[in-house]
Structure 1
């Protein structure tokens, strides 16, 4: 069965974005970027691949999932499909089904669709964000890979949205601290 990995950036206080979707406090500079890009080359958006002149092959991920808010961030920057090298799903009840070539809009239950995807042959499935879709899919997440940035913002969009109180114990499988202060922690369901 395929695994769902929630690979995301977070603040020290557990937010994936500011109250209005701000993410400019997550720096792309620093020594953490090269190491993480080498581990997860699939997660490099097409506009950065083009800008950097790189085309790293997919290693362990072949599908990406996004919620409407995360997807909107790319649309606002003029990027309708940041991941054409992956099978791309956006969960939304408001987007047109033909929003962009290579992007499949899913208006139905995300849990049901993810369970179907997990049964298909293929590599791991990456939950790109955001917090609301992660909250809806929390029980389906097999791995959690968090880039924790050395910044606290006080308020914003939580790592698991408004999922509510439901303790879930995970096992740390690796942890690495970079010189730029970013801590990359990888968890699995224990």
Structure 2
């Protein structure tokens, strides 16, 4: 069955962005970047892949699901298909996509469950935190880029998720001179 993979940068105190939605406090240079560009290239937007000369077919995921607020910066930059190498789905109850390459769903949980029954590639949960909170019980794998910063407030890693004891077990942790830690987990009951 296909995995839903939440791959996201986060602060030490569990925020994926500042209160205004920016993530400038997170390290975008350093020795961890080579790993991001190599092992997680599937999760890079198309314009970043092009700038880096990454043309390889996706190997880890073949679909991306994101919230409207995650999709908006691409639209603001004139990019209506930010992940052209992946099947793209945006979760929104009120918006519609103008791109034939981007589907919109009002029910991300049902959509993820349907996606699990087809194909073999993973599903990349690109964000944001509110969507991750909605999909928390569907997430099979976490790949957290822990940045050595405490924000104090901002957009939570799992916004609006109801309380429950959800266990994940660590599978791999790598620490870099940049201070970033890439920590991977799988759902403990999987």
TM-score, normalised on structure 2? Answer: 0.94
Cα distance, 1:132 vs. partner? Answer: 0.4
Q: Distance in 2 between matches of 1:166 and 1:76?
A: 36
Size of the aligned set, in residue pairs, is: 188
Q: Secondary structure at the match of 2:62?
A: strand
Q: Distance in 1 between matches of 2:170 and 2:24?
A: 28
Q: Distance in 2 between matches of 1:68 and 1:166?
A: 26
Residue equivalent to 1:94: 94
Q: Distance in 2 between matches of 1:21 and 1:83?
A: 20
Q: Distance in 2 between matches of 1:116 and 1:24?
A: 35
* Equivalent position to 2:133, from 109, 132, 135: 135
Instruction: After TM superposition, list the pairs within 5 Å mapping 1:116-131 onto structure 2.
Output: 116-131=114-129
Q: Deviations over 1:43-83 (max 9, x none)?
A: 11111122223323311210001011111122223322210
Q: Distance in 2 between matches of 1:153 and 1:18?
A: 7
Q: Distance in 2 between matches of 1:62 and 1:13?
A: 30
Instruction: After TM superposition, list the pairs within 5 Å mapping 1:24-173 onto structure 2.
Output: 24-96=24-96, 98-107=97-106, 109-173=107-171
Q: Deviations over 1:70-107 (max 9, x none)?
A: 111222233222100000000012222x4223111112
Contact 1:41 1:57 in 2 (8 A): no
Q: Distance in 1 between matches of 2:86 and 2:121?
A: 11
Cα distance, 1:122 vs. partner? Answer: 2.4
Q: Secondary structure at the match of 1:49?
A: helix
Could you list the structure 1 runs, at least 4 aligned residues long, displaced by more than 3 angstroms after superposition.
none
Residue equivalent to 1:186: 184
Contact 1:37 1:43 in 2 (8 A): no
Cα distance, 1:24 vs. partner? Answer: 1.5
Q: Deviations over 1:128-172 (max 9, x none)?
A: 111001000000000011000111111111000011322211100
Stretch of structure 1 that moved more, 69-78 or 123-132: 69-78
Contact 1:40 1:59 in 2 (8 A): no
